[in-house]
Each structure stands twice: as C-alpha cells, then as structure tokens.
Amino acid sequence: MHWPKSRTACFITETLFLEPFLVTSPSLKFTLARPAWGTSLGQPSPSSWHRCQHNCSLRDTFVSTGYKRQACPGHSSSRIALAAKMRAILIISLFSCFFAAYNAKVFSKCELARQLKAHGMDGFHGYSLANWVCMAQHESNFNTRAFNGKNSDGSSDYGLFQLNNKWWCKDNKYPSENACNIMCSKFLDDNINDDINCIKRVVRDPNGMSAWVAWVNHCKNKDLSQYLAGCQL
C-alpha cells in the first residue's frame, strides 16, 4: 500500500490492547497515514507532531505494517468508552473459559468408586462397581468436563459418563429424547449427582451398559479387578 508524500502521521501516545474492536467499529472512521516523508517511525517532524496534537484525540500504532491510524475530534468519547467496555468483556469471558477448563474435576479411580458406591451403584441393575469405574475411565478418563462433539450422527457426548444429547439430555443443538430431563451443560460441572441419576436411567433400558461403546470394548466380560485395586471401600 502506497500513500502520497503529503500525508502526515499521528504517532503513538496510547497503545490499545485488542485493537480490532476499534478497527472494525463502523462508528469510528480511522484515517490511515504514513509517517511524514523523511522522518523515521517514532520521530515525527515538528509540523506533523503539532498537527497530530491539534487534530487527534486518540492515537495508536498499526504495529503489523508500520502505518498509523488516527481517530480525530467529532467522534464521541462515549463510543470510545463503549469499545473499551467491549474489550473488557471479551477479556473477562476468555479468562472465565480458561478458568473453567483449568479447574475441571478429574477423579481418581478410588475417589469415583467411593462416590458411586455411596449412590448405590455397586450391583445396580446387576453391574458391579468395577464396571462403572471401568466405563468412566474409558469414556472420559474421569474428567467431569469431557466433551465429544464428533459422533458420526452429529450428536455430542457430555461429562464424566459421556451422556449423549440425542437420547439423555438437551442442549438446543440437536433433536433430543431428553430421557433424563436435564440440560447437557449440567453434566459438565463438578457435581456428579445428576450424572449418576442419569446413568441409572440409562441402564434401566434393555441395552443396559451396552449403551456405552467404551464399556463394550474395554469392560464387558473382562477382568476388572484393576479398577478397584488399592481402593479402601
């Protein structure tokens, strides 16, 4: 991109974080300019510096290209404040997502076994406690925030027991039977009481634990002693 020699530039006085909010805002019309001819970046000529001070209320740097942009008087300060708020909201949202992922509950096999036993899952509908622990390990690796959105039919699986949004829960993204009468997002928190209530509903169906492919592949008719080994139950 080439600019006439007569164009002058406003040099940096304030660096903005997450600049795209200002770049894309239709209410702020930025004028692109190149540094005054013969001056180096960051060293404006006295005349161009005077014009910048006189004409611009906000100046920042187009770091990626070396070009400058300026927002000049006539643009409401309230619009600039709104852009700042939008940036702040984005930062907070990104931080919240990171914080939630960072704090996902990952059970140990014995910790999960104790919780399942407390909820009456040892022998529930004929399945030993080790079957449930085995299934959870191979479905989610004991992670309460495990999510699988890559099923061949377009459905998704949620949480510790990878409960499916086609049959067991609702997420407003896929037509669901919602047999457990619950939002899928509830299976992504650290409270697994609702998860356990739902797997009790799942296993009452004729398929039993065969509803979980991981159980069929890794647990069914296998020696499961390792899944409770060392656990004080």
Nearest alpha carbon to residue 35 among 59, 61, 68? 68
The strand pairing partners of 70, in sequence order, are 31, 59
- So which residues are the catalytic ones? 139, 157
Q: Closest by alpha carbon to 84, among 76, 73, 72?
A: 76
